[in-house]
Amino acid sequence: MLRYFSFRTLLIVGFALVALTPSAALVQLRYGLAGLTIKAQQQQDLASDWSNASQQSQEQALHLERASRQLLILPEATFLNAAHSAKKRLEAAQQTFSTHPLLRHSSQRILQLLQKADPKRRLNKAQVNVLFGLLNEQLKNQDQLIEQQLAQQRQQWLAEVGQKQKQVDQLAILSPVAALSLAILMAVMFSWPIGQLKRKITQLAQGQRGQSWHLAGPADLQGLAKSLAELDLRLVALEAQKAQFFRHVSHELKTPLAVIHEASSLLQEEVLGHLNQQQKEISAMVQSNVQTLRQRVDALLAHDAGRWLSAGLEISPLDIEQFLAQRLQQWRILLAKKSLRIRQSGVARTTSADHAKLGIILDNLLLNAIRFSPPEGEIAISYGQTGQQSWIKIQDQGPGVASEEAESIFEPFHCGPAPEGESAGSGIGLTMARSFAQLMHGDVELIPSQQGACFRLHWQLQGQP
């Protein structure tokens, strides 16, 4: 579904959802508080109406009683009209309670008493006393009932307020949690395809070709993945062309060099006739430079073939201690020639690596250590594992490497000062060592040391095939 939307659209939607979550909670709270406010106003108006009606009922009952007693003494039209007026107003006041079930029942009893207190009826003093005694008692009970109903409505309102406060507290907690959860979900949805693409780009930079570039992500990332897939195919084609080019160069360069080397050897050996001293020096110079040129061409072809034409890493289990012993065995003659000692330290563990590439790296580092070590010197070799990395450190007692050349020595064809009595190297050994180490997700580094040069090789532990 994400592939139908751009990264910008998804970001806008994500930010909108995160922002709307607390906003929706605030809107719900606002309407809830508005409802409570309206209900409180309604209850206040109802309480005012009931209080006014109750007060008016008591006042009119008093007027009615006074007029009725006056009629007992002096039956005049003025007192009769006053009694009728008070009775009507009291009946109108009682109509206010007709909407409430309990108060309506009390009002009906009062209205029944009012029918008996009709001024047209000729009541004696005893009947007036009893009738208005009952009316006053009913009015008093009605007043108490009104207070009870108002108190009950007030308690209900307070209970609703308390419930709303609980909802507010819940919203105050759940709203940020929901917004944060939604933000995390959106972040995961965005970061997952980006992380996949980043890993694939890293693998592409490390030389892995022919990857699957299918991604489940926004349209922008899918378009970028498609472009990278085309770049991947283009790189495969370019490397195939480069492979063909190196095979051609290998034949075209090495064949004439071999002829020149053989011809200079014949001259040096005086097969074609005696040479004077100057001619011998020139012949030796030609042979030496041809040999140097052959070494550099071979090193260049080996480096580029190993880096670009490799069929991939062949990872297999490896015992570091045993592997080092095998590599040192190959250099025993040079070690014996300079009377060099080897000091090894480390915990013997089984790791995993590409044996061929690791062997080339160690051969280059060991050869440099042997060449630059003084006679009867010592070469220290240590090894171990740190986290998910295996490492080997090689240190000699030679002149070391100047700080300004710490990185340039890894550049192709960079040749530092050669040891006394030896010719300069090809300038490609350390470049090849670092390239192979990076193919194994590691590196070769020059470590600062007080004496000699110290190189540290490390590579990432990988799954066994």
The pLDDT tens digits for 399-415 are: 888 888 878 888 877 67
pLDDT at 360: 87
Say which range, 37-46, 48-57, 70-79, 250-259, has the weakest mean pLDDT: 250-259
The band of 5, judged by pLDDT with boundaries at 50, 70 and 90, is low
Report d(CA 260, CA 294) in Å as an integer.
Answer: 11
The band of 391, judged by pLDDT with boundaries at 50, 70 and 90, is very high
Alpha-carbon distances of 188 from 2, 196, 218, rounded to whole Å: 13, 12, 13
Assign domain 315-460 to a CATH class: alpha beta
Residue 434 has a CB neighbour count (10 Å cut-off) of: 20
Mean pLDDT within 341-356: 87
Q: Which uninterrupted H or E stretch holds 91?
A: helix 77-94
If we measure between CA atoms, which residue out of 209, 224, 250, 235 comes closest to residue 3?
Answer: 224
Report d(CA 138, CA 107) in Å as an integer.
Answer: 9
Residues 6+ apart with CB under 8 A from 293: 257
* pLDDT at position 311 over 50: no
* pLDDT at position 394 over 90: yes
CATH number of the domain at 2-183, please?
1.20.120.1730
Mean pLDDT within 98-121: 83
Start-end ranges of CATH 3.30.565.10 in the chain? 315-460
pLDDT at 465: 39
Coil, helix or strand at residue 444: strand
Report d(CA 176, CA 251) in Å as an integer.
Answer: 71
pLDDT at 342: 93
The band of 220, judged by pLDDT with boundaries at 50, 70 and 90, is confident
Say which range, 24-33, 96-105, 344-353, has the weakest mean pLDDT: 24-33
If we measure between CA atoms, which residue out of 28, 97, 5, 6 comes closest to residue 56?
Answer: 97
Read out DSSP for 360-429? HHHHHHHHHHHHHSPTT-EEEEEEEEETTEEEEEEE-SS----GGGTTGGGSTT---PPPTTS----S-H
pLDDT at 300: 59
The band of 462, judged by pLDDT with boundaries at 50, 70 and 90, is low
**Global confidence as pTM:** 0.43
Which range has the top average pLDDT, 176-180, 298-302, 422-426? Answer: 176-180
Model pLDDT for residues 236-281, shown as the tens digit of each residue: 887 777 666 666 666 566 667 777 777 777 777 777 778 788 777 7
Beta carbons of 355 and 314 less than 8 angstroms apart: yes
Which residues in 435-449 are b (16+ Cβ under 10 Å) and which e?
Answer: bbbbbbbbebbbeeb
**Helix H segments across 206-316?**
219-268, 277-308
User: Tell me, what amino acid is at 232?
Assistant: D
The band of 31, judged by pLDDT with boundaries at 50, 70 and 90, is confident
Start-end ranges of CATH 1.20.120.1730 in the chain? 2-183
Of the chain, the percentage scoring pLDDT greater than 70 comes to 84
User: Tell me, what amino acid is at 305?
Assistant: A
Q: Which uninterrupted H or E stretch holds 169?
A: helix 125-205
The band of 219, judged by pLDDT with boundaries at 50, 70 and 90, is confident
Start-end ranges of CATH 1.10.287 in the chain? 210-311
Q: Which uninterrupted H or E stretch holds 174?
A: helix 125-205
* pLDDT at position 385 over 80: yes
- List the Cα angle 76/81/86 in 5-degree steps: 130
The token duo for 447 is 């470590």
The token duo for 348 is 């013997």
Q: Which 3-state string (H, E, C) describes 44-70?
A: HHHHHHHHHHHHHHHHHHHHHHHHHHH
Report d(CA 441, CA 434) in Å as an integer.
Answer: 10
The band of 309, judged by pLDDT with boundaries at 50, 70 and 90, is very low
- List the Cα angle 297/298/304 in 5-degree steps: 90
Q: Which CATH architecture has domain 210-311?
A: Orthogonal Bundle (1.10)
pLDDT at 376: 92
Mean pLDDT within 332-344: 89
357 burial via Cβ count (<10 Å: 0-12, 13-18, 19+): buried
The band of 380, judged by pLDDT with boundaries at 50, 70 and 90, is very high
